[in-house]
Amino acid sequence: MDIIPVANVVTTEEDARAVYEVVKSGWISKGKKVDAFEADFARVVGARHAIAVSNGTAALHVILAALGIGPGDEVVLPSLTFISTANAVLYLGATPVLVECAPDTYNVTPEILEAAVTPRTKALVPVDMNGMPVDYNAVLALGERLGIPVVSDSAESLGASYKGRRIGGVSPIGFFSFFPNKTVTTGEGGMITCSDDAFAERCRVLLNQGQEGRYNHVALGFNYRMTDIAAALGIVQLSRLDSIVAEKNNIVAAYREFLADAPGVSLPVEPAYVTQHSWYMFAVQVDEAIRDAVVAHLKDKGVDTRLSFPPIHNQPYYRERFGSKAEDLPVTWRTWRRLINLPIWPGLTREQIAYVAATLKEAVAACS
């Protein structure tokens, strides 16, 4: 039986040639290709600065370090996201304050963030869950009113737009990931975007072992440089961004068509402020009592799925370190227990989408 994967890396001969040319040149570490990728990225998303790093986690680590965050500080972020968002806070000795999500969008709201703010809060990190932007005007207004920096975790939302503006050009500070299942990949890689010149320079110093100039180390920095090999792949991948996002939106339209009358299946919500969703994942909800049985049925029928990222506050390390438990964030816990990520990737055919939808309806009916 052929398996329909939940995600699929799409690379081309053009990608391979770009990487080969860099390898053949003899200059494979950080160089002109990284510079070109940063310039292309800034232009595409509308950012003043784009700063390439080795991965998305490194991007957030550098940003928080550049903000001066350290022991005794708190950073507010959602529990329903990948664990690296919280881990980067711990790297600096600060405390991640994990909060609820809205059950319809899976994103945080300004009200949720503000309720967790204390005198020790030094940053707010909203996450564009599954590639859908948060309500940026409202969140940025909150940060400005409280005097707290907002760091946009846009790891999943490259290609998305908020009220007509590309993500990356909306928030003064943000970052992206280029992991293989992201819209654009460099194998591993990340990008910091920001609007402040001095902050951009601080990030560049920190990601390069704290160097200003050659072997002049002015800060405790990191080795988070991107290679020219990765950047060469990123340049070509980025040139296809619009077509990739358009294809994903067509896939979502087909899912909505095939699942419009599916009893017991709730489809993703798209708020009016989202001009374009990038659809990192297409997450549906079913009754939590049957979620795992539905997933097993889909697997038996050759449909790969994911259960979204398990809430951070219930991960073993966080339970042990902070004494947290699933019930501490009941909305997040109940929401996660209903979620199933369906296959979505460029090249997924209409026939495959129809099969996934039919199999999902069959599974829900059988398990109810």
The pair phi, psi for residue 136, each rounded to 5°, is -65, -40
The pair phi, psi for residue 302, each rounded to 5°, is 90, 20
Q: C-alpha angle 204/225/152, rounded to 5°?
A: 60
Sheet holding 152-153, edge to edge: 49-53, 190-194, 173-177, 152-153
**Catalytic annotation, residues:** 182
* Cβ–Cβ under 8 Å, residues 304 and 5: yes
